[in-house]
Amino acid sequence: MTTFTPRELNDNAMSTQKEMWKICTNNTIRRDELLEANLEAIYEVAMSICDPVLKIKSINMRIMKKSTSNKTHWGY
């Protein structure tokens, strides 16, 4: 999944800038979590309507993707 890297905050930032940084960071994390939850929901719906052969292929691709760590391998 995606990893969140917050913007850098200047050490000399004013309190308003620090508060805005905190708000932006929290909003980004919330959006990232919502995106992940939505993707999982879509995956569950897709898997519920798949035939058994397609489910096995999908699960195998997911396992290969995890095992190659950040490198997508589709078997080509």
Return the pLDDT at 50: 82
| 38, part of any domain | yes
Total count of domains within the chain? 1
SS3 12: coil
Across 7-33, average pLDDT: 86
Predicted TM-score (pTM) of this structure? 0.56
Q: What gap in Å lies between CA 39 and CA 45, rounded to an integer?
A: 10
| 27, part of any domain | yes
For residue 33, what pLDDT band results from cuts at 50, 70 and 90?
very high
| 3, part of any domain | no
**In which domain, by residue range, is 29 found?**
15-67
Q: What gap in Å lies between CA 71 and CA 7, rounded to an integer?
A: 25
Res 47 pLDDT > 90: no
More confident residue, 26 or 69: 26
| 58, part of any domain | yes
Percent helix / strand / coil, the chain, rounded to 5: 65, 0, 35
Res 11 pLDDT > 60: yes
